[in-house]
């Protein structure tokens, strides 16, 4: 049953092969108009494999849960686990037992831990006599991402076959979709940190290639470069963070690092230096900021919308941008200890997440481009996830990642459908009234908006509620501030963002689908190949919340068994139980507050647009309102700071100054030395050799001549002259050396 978990490398391998097939044989063998079938088939297979992996993993979790109660099975599973531990190579079996015997579910030992499945091959590379392995690590978190990535990728592959049809680079488009899928899948099953870096960078390259898909136009390539370079800035943090972790734990293995921290926090292993963990966490946060669009490195993400819209849905909303969130989740023990998440009431991660959520939501109000609204919304929602991780709500973050992937992909593909219909524009000022022309797009868009806004019972409601809950309840035994819980500021941020999200999304609905049509031509509904993926995603936007329902909701129906599925099956209990991560009990009141805020946001916007109430035209009348709006419009001037001031100064004055220094100072010394030697040679030759001593000191003259007029010697090409001169000089200096020393 565990076959697919142990051979998970097949999952990224299949789309990788598809990439090569499309790239090399796309035009010649397969035919340009048929390449999408290769891509769809490959991702389809991978989707099935991922589902199999999910089933295998759930079975595995069930087995390890029953292992607590059933002694006979205990032996059997112990053997199995022994094998997998052995295949993990160098992992100390005892460590695992120690962690398990503690049976330390913070919920009161609700479930046992389930070991991840690690398969690896030694000798990928080696240094100092240590072999570094390459392999796969599959656990609940990996499986969750496998499902998200393959599902969205499959739908985007299908949707694109119509959306990108007839594109100038249809073949390249599908090749890179496949490569992206492969890289992302490679990333989520990385067994060690170096592999993680590899996957991390490869998805970045695919993003670069797809943002710049229409590279004839300068703005697109500018956006692609901006994305890549901003991510490179974050990668400094990734490299440094990984290096610090390697320096601290002397291994790249994710499993070993997590396990060692777990043991330390249980007092049964040596404590890693807290300062090192803190520095590693800070450095890795920089990487998260760039990849997952967190303040202050989020600025590339809205520009990345220059790429084709299905790409925005897949890469810049549902999957690649959550790589940072995934990485935090993957190395959660590091961050948990490094930022003291369990005991603090504010920390860097929670603050960056919360603040990003807030500023992203703010910017979403000032956009006219529908994709940019969605992009800032993505920034904001990613901030929510990071904030969730920052307050210790691991499950809530991953659950939100899961639900967000579906409804945000649906919104992006919906925006694509709108643009497909309305003359290829994304400007909402040229839309309007589209609900009559494209009912399927409209309905799915509204459903996803409700999900994003967090309206009961749509998916976003459940996951957002858990994040607020996490901020409020925090970790067991941690302090509480007034009535605002462990992380008061995060709770406030979360609530404000909930309100804003509902409001800016309602604004989008108004401008796009209501009022009168303001664009050109006759808008029409998109074909089935586009609307069916929309409907599938919309259905997920409704039901995805069911994957982690709180127990009380299900109790009355007698379905408690189906509660907390994500928590039960996706959480890497093997690592998280050891650091004592707890799960807060559900709160009816908090859920009501979240829902109230969402409805209030919708209601306010509804009154403003539909009923024309409120301060219309305030930004024209009021100086301060106008300044505020401009500030938002200019995206807090961050782009100016980065592009014009930082990059501009490095590219122009600083680089030119360095070059001037090179040519006029360093090189000047060289040239002056050369000329000086030549001139002195001439002088000696003329005045001493020829003029004064002439024939008597031929040897000296030759020496000076050769030294100064090396040009002549070399041009005659007399190697012997040169050699003898060199040996002669060397011998003289060597003698000096011997005497001196």
Binding residues vs other proteins (CB under 8 A): 123-129, 194, 197-198, 200-202, 205, 212, 215-218, 221-222, 225, 228-229, 232-233, 235-236, 239-240, 243-244, 246-247, 647, 650-651, 654-656, 658-659, 662, 666-667, 670, 674, 710-711, 714, 717, 719, 723, 726-727, 729-731, 733-734, 737-738, 741
- Of the pair 565, 638, the CB lying nearest other proteins is at 638
What phi and psi values does residue 369 have, to the nearest 5 degrees?
-85, 120
Write down the residue that tokens 């496949």 correspond to.
178
- Of the pair 630, 649, the CB lying nearest other proteins is at 649
Q: How far apart are CA 397 and CA 490, in angstroms?
A: 14
- Of the pair 477, 648, the CB lying nearest other proteins is at 648
Least distance to other proteins, CB of residue 629, Å = 33
Nearest to 11 by CA among 138, 141, 186: 186
- In the three-class reduction of DSSP (H, G, I as helix; E, B as strand; rest coil), residue 126 is classed as strand
- Of the pair 74, 656, the CB lying nearest other proteins is at 656
Residue 650 CB neighbours (<10 A): 11
Q: How far apart are CA 416 and CA 668, in angstroms?
A: 59
Which stretches within 7-117 are classed as H helix? 10-25, 35-66, 71-87, 93-101
Describe the crossing of helices 323-330 and 394-421 by its angle, rounded to 10 degrees: 170
User: Tokens at residue 269, please?
Assistant: 């292993």
CA distances from 413 to 365, 506, 558 (A): 20, 17, 37
Widest CA span in the chain: 117
Strand partners, 427: 369
Is 372 within 8 Å of 500 (Cβ atoms)? Answer: no
User: Tokens at residue 524, please?
Assistant: 């029409």
Least distance to other proteins, CB of residue 280, Å = 11
- Of the pair 518, 678, the CB lying nearest other proteins is at 678
For residue 90, the Cα-to-chain-centroid distance in whole angstroms is 30
Strand partners, 190: 136
Question: Secondary structure of 371-382 in the HEC alphabet?
Answer: HHHHHHHHHHHH
What is the chain's length?
A: 741
- Of the pair 211, 500, the CB lying nearest other proteins is at 211
Is 54 within 8 Å of 143 (Cβ atoms)? Answer: yes
Least distance to other proteins, CB of residue 537, Å = 31
- Of the pair 220, 425, the CB lying nearest other proteins is at 220
Least distance to other proteins, CB of residue 59, Å = 33
- Of the pair 603, 655, the CB lying nearest other proteins is at 655
- In the three-class reduction of DSSP (H, G, I as helix; E, B as strand; rest coil), residue 572 is classed as coil
Question: Hey, what's the torsion of the CAs at 183, 185, 188, 189, to 10 degrees?
Answer: -110
- Of the pair 248, 395, the CB lying nearest other proteins is at 248
Least distance to other proteins, CB of residue 717, Å = 7
Nearest to 525 by CA among 421, 677, 671, 633: 421
Least distance to other proteins, CB of residue 227, Å = 10
Least distance to other proteins, CB of residue 392, Å = 30
Is 579 within 8 Å of 146 (Cβ atoms)? Answer: no
Strand partners, 119: 136
Least distance to other proteins, CB of residue 3, Å = 25
Least distance to other proteins, CB of residue 199, Å = 8
Least distance to other proteins, CB of residue 241, Å = 10
- Of the pair 616, 656, the CB lying nearest other proteins is at 656
Nearest to 240 by CA among 190, 200, 207, 197: 197
- Of the pair 62, 222, the CB lying nearest other proteins is at 222
Nearest to 352 by CA among 402, 307, 388, 312: 388
- Of the pair 1, 236, the CB lying nearest other proteins is at 236
User: Tokens at residue 727, please?
Assistant: 């040996």
Nearest to 468 by CA among 400, 379, 546, 548: 400
Is 349 within 8 Å of 285 (Cβ atoms)? Answer: yes
Least distance to other proteins, CB of residue 240, Å = 6
What phi and psi values does residue 136 have, to the nearest 5 degrees?
-125, 145
Is 179 within 8 Å of 26 (Cβ atoms)? Answer: no
Least distance to other proteins, CB of residue 687, Å = 24
- Of the pair 607, 666, the CB lying nearest other proteins is at 666
- Of the pair 674, 691, the CB lying nearest other proteins is at 674
- Of the pair 124, 510, the CB lying nearest other proteins is at 124
- Of the pair 482, 738, the CB lying nearest other proteins is at 738
> Vertex 658, ends 654 and 660: CA angle to 5°?
115
Least distance to other proteins, CB of residue 706, Å = 11
> Vertex 442, ends 441 and 443: CA angle to 5°?
95
- Of the pair 627, 736, the CB lying nearest other proteins is at 736
The secondary element (H helix, E strand) that includes residue 266 is: none
Instruction: Tell how strand 130-138 and strand 117-127 pair up.
Output: antiparallel
Least distance to other proteins, CB of residue 245, Å = 10
- Of the pair 74, 712, the CB lying nearest other proteins is at 712
Least distance to other proteins, CB of residue 423, Å = 24
Q: Which residues of 634-643 are buried (b: 16+ CB within 10 A; e: fewer)?
A: ebbeeeeebe
Nearest to 402 by CA among 725, 738, 143, 88: 143
Is 404 within 8 Å of 376 (Cβ atoms)? Answer: no
Least distance to other proteins, CB of residue 8, Å = 18
Least distance to other proteins, CB of residue 647, Å = 8
- In the three-class reduction of DSSP (H, G, I as helix; E, B as strand; rest coil), residue 192 is classed as strand
Q: How far apart are CA 394 and CA 332, in angstroms?
A: 8
Least distance to other proteins, CB of residue 205, Å = 6
Is 157 within 8 Å of 39 (Cβ atoms)? Answer: yes
């Amino acid at each position: 049953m565990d076959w697919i978990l142990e051979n998970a490398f097949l999952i990224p391998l299949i789309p990788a092969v598809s990439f090569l097939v499309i790239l090399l044989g796309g035009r010649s063998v397969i035919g340009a108009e048929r390449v999408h079938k290769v891509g769809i088939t490959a991702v389809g297979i991978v989707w099935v494999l991922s589902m199999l992996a999910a089933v295998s993993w759930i079975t595995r979790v069930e087995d390890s849960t029953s292992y607590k109660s059933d002694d006979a099975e205990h032996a059997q599973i112990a053997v199995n686990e022994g094998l997998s531990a052995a295949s993990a190579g160098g992992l100390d079996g005892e460590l695992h037992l120690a962690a398990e015997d503690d049976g330390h579910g913070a919920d009161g030992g609700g479930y046992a831990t389930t070991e991840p499945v690690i398969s690896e091959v030694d000798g990928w590379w080696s240094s100092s006599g240590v072999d570094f392995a390459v392999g796969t690590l599959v656990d609940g978190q990996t499986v969750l991402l496998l499902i998200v990535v393959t599902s969205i990728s499959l739908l985007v592959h299908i949707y694109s076959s119509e959306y990108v049809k007839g594109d100038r680079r249809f073949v390249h488009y599908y090749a890179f979709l496949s490569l992206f899928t492969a890289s992302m899948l490679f990333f989520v099953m990385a067994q060690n940190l170096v592999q993680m870096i590899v996957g991390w960078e490869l998805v970045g390259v695919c993003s670069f290639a797809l943002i710049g898909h229409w590279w004839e136009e300068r703005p697109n390539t500018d956006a692609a470069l901006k994305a890549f370079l901003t991510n490179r800035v974050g990668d400094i943090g990734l490299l440094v963070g990984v290096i610090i972790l390697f320096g601290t734990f002397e291994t790249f293995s994710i499993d070993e690092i997590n396990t060692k921290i777990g043991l330390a926090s249980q007092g049964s292993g040596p404590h890693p230096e807290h300062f090192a963990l803190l520095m590693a966490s800070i450095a890795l946060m920089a990487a998260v900021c760039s990849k997952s669009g967190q303040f202050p490195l989020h600025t590339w993400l809205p520009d990345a919308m220059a790429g084709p819209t299905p790409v925005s849905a897949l890469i810049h909303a549902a999957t690649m941008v959550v790589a940072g969130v995934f990485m935090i989740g993957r190395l959660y023990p590091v961050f948990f200890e490094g930022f003291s998440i369990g005991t603090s009431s504010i920390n860097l991660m929670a603050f960056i997440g919360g603040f990003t959520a807030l500023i992203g939501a703010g910017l979403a109000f000032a956009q006219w481009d529908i994709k940019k609204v969605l992009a800032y919304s993505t920034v904001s929602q990613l901030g929510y996830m990071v904030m969730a991780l920052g307050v210790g709500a691991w499950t809530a973050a991953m659950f939100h990642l899961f639900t967000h992937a579906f409804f945000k992909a649906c919104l992006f593909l919906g925006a694509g459908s709108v643009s497909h219909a309305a003359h290829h524009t994304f400007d909402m000022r040229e839309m309007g009234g589209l609900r009559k022309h494209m009912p399927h797009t409209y309905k799915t868009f509204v459903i996803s908006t409700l999900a994003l806004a967090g309206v009961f019972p749509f998916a976003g409601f459940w996951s957002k509620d858990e994040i607020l809950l996490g901020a409020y309840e925090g970790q067991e035994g941690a302090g509480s501030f007034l009535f605002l819980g462990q992380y008061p500021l995060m709770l406030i941020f979360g609530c404000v963002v909930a309100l804003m999200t509902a409001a800016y999304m309602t604004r989008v609905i108004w401008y796009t689908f209501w009022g009168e049509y303001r664009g050109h031509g006759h808008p029409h509904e998109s074909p089935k190949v586009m609307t069916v993926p929309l409907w599938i995603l919309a259905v997920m936007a409704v039901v995805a919340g069911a994957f982690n329902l709180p127990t009380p909701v299900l109790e009355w129906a007698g379905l408690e068994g189906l509660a907390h599925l994500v928590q039960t099956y996706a959480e890497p209990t093997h690592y998280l139980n050891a650091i004592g991560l707890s799960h807060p009990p559900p709160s009816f009141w908090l859920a009501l507050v979240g829902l109230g805020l969402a409805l209030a946001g919708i209601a306010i916007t509804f009154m403003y647009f539909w009923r024309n109430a409120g301060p219309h035209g305030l930004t024209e009348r009021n100086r301060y309102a106008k300044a505020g709006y401009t500030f938002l419009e200019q995206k807090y001037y961050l782009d100016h700071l980065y592009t014009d001031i930082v990059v501009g100064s490095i590219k122009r004055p600083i680089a030119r100054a360095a070059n001037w220094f090179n040519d006029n100072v360093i090189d000047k010394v060289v040239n002056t030395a050369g000329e000086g030697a030549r001139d002195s040679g001439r002088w000696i030759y003329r005045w001493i050799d020829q003029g004064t001593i002439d024939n008597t000191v031929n040897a000296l003259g030759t020496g000076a001549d050769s030294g100064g007029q090396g040009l002549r010697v070399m041009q005659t090409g007399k190697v012997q002259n040169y050699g003898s001169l060199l040996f002669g000089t060397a011998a003289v200096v060597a003698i000096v050396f011997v005497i001196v020393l």
